[in-house]
Amino acid sequence: MSSLLEQEIASQPDVIARLLASEMERIRAIIAQLPPFNFALIAARGSSDHAALYATYAWAALAGIPVALATPSLYTLYHAAPRLDGALVVGVSQSGASPDILAVLEEGKRQGRPTLAITNDGASPLAAAADHVVELHAEAERSVAATKTYTAQLAVIAAFAALWSGEPEHRAELERLPAYVAATLANTGEIAQRAARYCDMRDCVVIGRGYNYATAFELALKLKELTYTMAIPYSSADFRHGPIATIESGSPTILIMPGGAVFDDMLDLAHDLRRRNADLLVISEAPQALALATTPLPMPGPAPEWLSPLAAIAPGQILALHLALAKGADPDAPRGLHKVTRTL
């Protein structure tokens, strides 16, 4: 019998399709109702924070909307909430139950700013506090590690970006998204066998840039949660500013490099790391990138770079799942973790 985590990873194309069918018109209506704002301030934790990191690229690149990530401790521990003049205040949380995310939205309302909740629980405290709510329609996520709720959050953020952009092409690309994610999952069959190679891995680096900077953080978190590997995420640019010195012969290095504006930079880095004899795991659709890999993790392609994070995470999820199994860990119940984490 497959694990809950495996089932939830496999469900992602259906979840995204259901979400887009259920929420696109609601998102369109929310956009029409929002008062003028100058930037979006997003409060989130964990995987939801990585979805927010994706928004810093998608909303800015497609719609020209600057995005800042909130610092919830200012609201809950330091009691020093900043001025939110001009902000659209957004809370992203699969449970909608974390007090610190709720505190940011409540402060936004107190200062008279519009608020938006993106959550899998429309009856949650976060949803109750927000002016507008978009639900993920992911059904209950029973495995502790977030997979389908993460990609559903990305899909909501992508939907706002597409509609804010006003470009019909972006809406058409979004409609093809479930099939794109399904094709990616269909290509992950060999990862189970390849994962065992890394059974003794204690640490690694995960590198992405641009839209997939968020993917690097999310994949690193999945490896930490499920396999207890100290996985450290970087952008390719930041990695060159010092951390590359840590690479030795055989160092496991995961590169997330779909085609797009950052591909040439990532390819240059891959060649550099190959010269250093790093053990490269490469997530890409490009043959020249996969040819450099010790362990290729292929994606279908080509696809719009702005939507690639929704598919690029899938090979990483499968890798983390099967590496956990190879290590004898329970992928549905990582040690010391709970599904809902309530931070202050």
Q: Delineate the domains of the chain, giving CATH numbers in brackets.
A: 4-175 (3.40.50.10490), 188-326 (3.40.50.10490)
Rounded to whole angstroms, how far apart are CA atoms 106 and 130? 8
Judge residue 269's burial from the number of C-beta atoms within 10 Å of its C-beta, 0-12 exposed, 13-18 middle, 19 or more buried: buried
Global pTM value: 0.96
Task: Show pLDDT as tens, one digit a residue, over the chain (344 residues).
Answer: 589 999 999 999 999 999 999 999 999 999 999 999 999 999 999 999 999 999 999 999 999 999 999 999 999 999 999 999 999 999 999 999 999 999 999 999 999 999 999 999 999 999 999 999 999 999 999 888 999 999 999 999 999 999 999 999 999 999 999 999 999 999 888 898 899 999 999 999 999 999 999 999 999 999 999 999 999 999 999 999 999 999 999 999 999 999 999 999 999 999 999 999 999 999 999 999 999 999 999 999 888 999 999 999 999 999 999 999 999 999 988 877 765 667 76
Residues 6+ apart with CB under 8 A from 223: 204, 206, 229, 231, 316, 319, 320, 323
